[in-house]
Amino acid sequence: MPPQLLVSVRNGIEAEAALQGGCDILDIKEPARGSLGMADMAAISAVAEVVGQQPDDVALSAALGETTDWYAAAPPALPAGINYAKLGTAGLRPDLDWQQRWSEVRRQFDLAADRDIAWIAVAYIDWELANSPPPLEIVAAATEAGCAGVLFDTFAKTGRGLFDWLSETQLRGLVNDIHAAGQLVAVAGQITAENVPALIDFAPDIIAIRSAACAGGQRTNAIEAEAIRHFKTAMHNAAISH
C-alpha cells in the first residue's frame, strides 16, 4: 500500500489549500514555534471545522509542542476531530524518568479530551542537537506505551534532512522494528519530491511535509496547492515504478 501524504498547516486557510492539493492527512502546527510547535487552540479548532465539512475522510493530527512545555501548564481539551497527536521529546535526554514524565503529559491530554488519544511518538533524528533520547530508545518506549506509531523528524530546521542524519541501513532497521510492533511509521525532515523514490523503498506509512508544500520551499511561507500536487505526482510515479 502506498504511503499517505501528510501536510502540516497553521490555519484554516492553509488547510483548504492543502485539501485542494490532495493531501491525505492534515497536521496542525505553528512552524514559527519550532519543529513540533503547537498552534493556538483557535487555529486547531478552525482546521478541525474545515475537515469536518469535507465529504471525504481526511485524518487530522496535531503537534502539541515539547513534553517539557507542559510540566507546569494544564493541557487544553483537543477537538473531537483530532485523530492523532504528537508530543516532542526535546530536552528529555538528561532526565532518567523521561518516559514517566512523557507518559504523564500524554495522560493529562487524554483526561482533558475525555478520551484516549492516538499518540504518535516523536523520534528526533538529530537527537543530540535536540538533547532528546536517541531514536532506538524512543522506538522502544513507543512500543511499551502502546503508541499508534512513530514519527522520525528533525528538531533543527537548518536545511539538513532525513537522509543527512540517518543512513539507509539505519532507517530500514528502524522502520522494520516499528512495523514488527504493529505500529505506523511516519517520516519527515526537509523531505523533497526528489527524496520520494528512495523513501518509497522503505515502505513508510506516512510521508510528512511542510517546506515542500510551501511557496518557495520555505516552511514559514504559505501552503500552495500546486506544490502539494507536484509532490503527490512524485509519490504516484515512484509507487508505479517501484
Whole-model pTM above 0.85? yes
pLDDT of residue 107: 97
What type of residue sits at position 65? G
The rounded distance, in Å, linking the Cα atoms of 23 and 86 is 19
In the set 30, 31, 86, 152, the catalytic residue is: 86
Q: Tell me which residues of the chain have a pLDDT lower than 50.
A: none
Burial class of 14 by CB neighbour count within 10 A (0 to 12, 13 to 18, 19+):
buried
Q: Which of 6, 23, 3 is nearest to 239 (CA)?
A: 3
Q: Is 29 one of the annotated active-site residues of the chain?
A: yes
pLDDT of residue 3: 93
pLDDT of residue 32: 92
Place of cell 519550532: 34
Place of cell 533543527: 156
User: pLDDT per residue over 12-43, tens digit each?
Assistant: 999 999 999 999 999 999 999 989 999 999 99
Helix (H, G, I), strand (E, B) or coil at 180: helix
Number of folded domains in the chain?
A: 1
Structural domain harbouring 162? 4-241
Q: Is 86 one of the annotated active-site residues of the chain?
A: yes
Characterize 69-92 residue by residue with b for buried, 16 or more Cβ atoms within 10 angstroms of its Cβ, and e for exposed. Answer: bbeeeebeebbebbbbbbbbbbbb
pLDDT of residue 25: 95
In the set 21, 25, 29, 126, the catalytic residue is: 29
CATH of the domain at 160: 3.20.20.380
